[in-house]
Chains A and B, each alone.
Chain A
Amino acid sequence: MPHKTFLAFILPSIVAMLLFIALPIVSVAVQSLFVEHQKVLLTVETCQPLGGCSTETRVDSEASAKLRAEQPLGQFNGLGTYFNRAHLAFDEIGEILRVNSGLGDVAARIYDLPFYRALAFTLAYTFIVTPLAMLLGFVIALAVNIVPALLKGPVIFFSLLPMIITPLIGSLILFWMINSEGIIGATLQAVFNDPTLSLKASPVLTWATLFVYGVWTNAPFSFVVFYAGLQTVPGDTLESAMIDGASRWERIRYVVMPHLAPLATFVALVQLMDNFRVFEPIVGFSAQANATSLSFSIFNDLRNQNAQLYGSAGATSLLTIAGVVVLLMPVLIRTWREHAHKS
Chain B
Amino acid sequence: MKHILAASVSVAALLLGAGAALADCGAPAGSVRILSNDFAALKVVADAAKECASDAVTVTANQTTEHKNIQGPALTVNPAEYTVAVVANNSIVPLLNDGLIRPLDELVAKYGQDLQPNQLIKIDGKVMAIAFMGNGQHLFYRKDILEKAGVEAPKTYDDVLAAAARIKEAGLMEYPLAASVKPGWDLAAEFVNNYLSTGAEFFEPGSAKLAINGDNGLKVLDLMRAQIAFMDPDYLTFDAGEIKNEYEAGNVAIMNEWGSMGGAILDAEGAVDGVVANTVLAAAPTFAGGTIPAAALWWDGFTIAKNISDADAEASFAAMVHGISPAVVAANPNAATWLVKGYEPGPAAVGVIANANGGARAYPMTPYMGLLHTALSTELADFVAGKEDAAKALADVEAAYVAAAKEGGFL
Seen from chain A, the residues whose Cβ lies within 8 Å of a Cβ on chain B are: 35-39, 41-51, 53, 56-59, 61-62, 64-65, 74-75, 77, 81, 84-86, 92, 112, 114, 179-180, 196, 198, 200-201, 203, 285-290, 292, 300, 303-307, 309, 311-312
Contacts and interface: CB of A to CB of B under 8 A. Distances in A.
Contacts of A180: 232, 234
B36 to A, nearest CB: 16
A109 to B, nearest CB: 10
Contact of A50 (B69, B124, B356, B373): B356
Contact of B97 (A61, A85, A288, A311): A61
The 6 residue pairs across chains A and B that have the minimum distance between CB atoms: A61-B99, A51-B362, A44-B124, A305-B370, A36-B409, A306-B370
A49 B300 CA distance: 10
B408 interface: yes
A57 B202 CA distance: 12
Interface residues of B, number: 70
15 contacts: A36-B409, A48-B89, A49-B118, A50-B299, A51-B362, A81-B407, A85-B402, A112-B392, A114-B378, A288-B184, A300-B378, A305-B369, A305-B371, A306-B91, A307-B404
A92 B396 CA distance: 11
A56 B201 CA distance: 11
Nearest to A46: B123
A303 B70 CA distance: 11
B134 A47 contact: no
B407 A39 contact: no
A92 B402 CA distance: 13
Interface string B332-372: 00000001000000000000000010001110111101110
A204 to B, nearest CB: 12
Contact of B237 (A44, A49, A203, A286): A286
Nearest to B203: A57
Nearest to A40: B409
What's the dominant secondary structure at chain A's contact region? loop
A115 B125 CA distance: 43
Contacts of B91: 306
A37 B120 CA distance: 31
Given A35-B407, A62-B99, A179 B234 contact: yes
Given A304-B371, A305-B185, A307-B371, A48 B365 contact: yes
A290 B94 contact: no
Interface in B64-93: 68-69, 89-91, 93
Given A201-B236, A306-B93, A289 B404 contact: no
Given A306-B90, A312-B407, A48 B362 contact: yes
Interface string B230-271: 001110110100000000000000000000000000000000
Among the interface residues B203, B396, B408, which one has the most CB atoms of the partner chain A within 10 A?
Answer: B408
B367 A58 contact: yes
Given A48-B297, A300-B378, 7 more contacts: A35-B406, A41-B207, A46-B365, A48-B131, A305-B90, A305-B185, A305-B369
Interface of B: 68-69, 89-91, 93-94, 96-99, 118-125, 131, 134, 182-185, 203, 206-208, 232-234, 236-237, 239, 297, 299, 339, 356, 360-362, 364-367, 369-371, 373-374, 378, 381-382, 384-385, 387-388, 392, 396, 399-400, 402-404, 406-410
B192 to A, nearest CB: 11
Contact of A311 (B122, B134, B206, B407): B407
Contacts of A45: 122-125
A36 B408 contact: yes
Nearest to A81: B407
A49 B409 contact: no
A188 to B, nearest CB: 13
B403 A86 contact: yes
Among the interface residues A43, A49, A92, which one has the most CB atoms of the partner chain B within 10 A?
Answer: A49
Nearest to B206: A43
B236 A47 contact: no
Given A48-B89, A48-B131, A65-B98, A112 B382 contact: yes
Nearest to A312: B407
B408 A39 contact: yes
Nearest to A48: B362
Contacts of B402: 85
A65 B306 CA distance: 14
B367 to A, nearest CB: 5
B236 A56 contact: no
A307 B94 contact: yes
A61 B96 contact: yes
Given A47-B122, A289-B384, A57 B366 contact: yes
A85 B91 CA distance: 27
A336 B96 CA distance: 55
A145 to B, nearest CB: 40
A309 B407 contact: yes
A44 B120 CA distance: 16
Contacts of B373: 305
A28 B371 CA distance: 22
Contact of A85 (B68, B131, B232, B399): B399
B403 A198 contact: no
A239 B387 CA distance: 59
Contact of B408 (A48, A50, A309): A309
Contact of A59 (B120, B367, B400): B367
Given A50-B360, A179-B234, A305-B373, A312 B94 contact: no
B145 to A, nearest CB: 20
Contacts of A44: 123-124
A306 B94 contact: yes
A265 B310 CA distance: 64
A287 B184 CA distance: 10
B201 to A, nearest CB: 10
B408 to A, nearest CB: 5
A253 B123 CA distance: 75
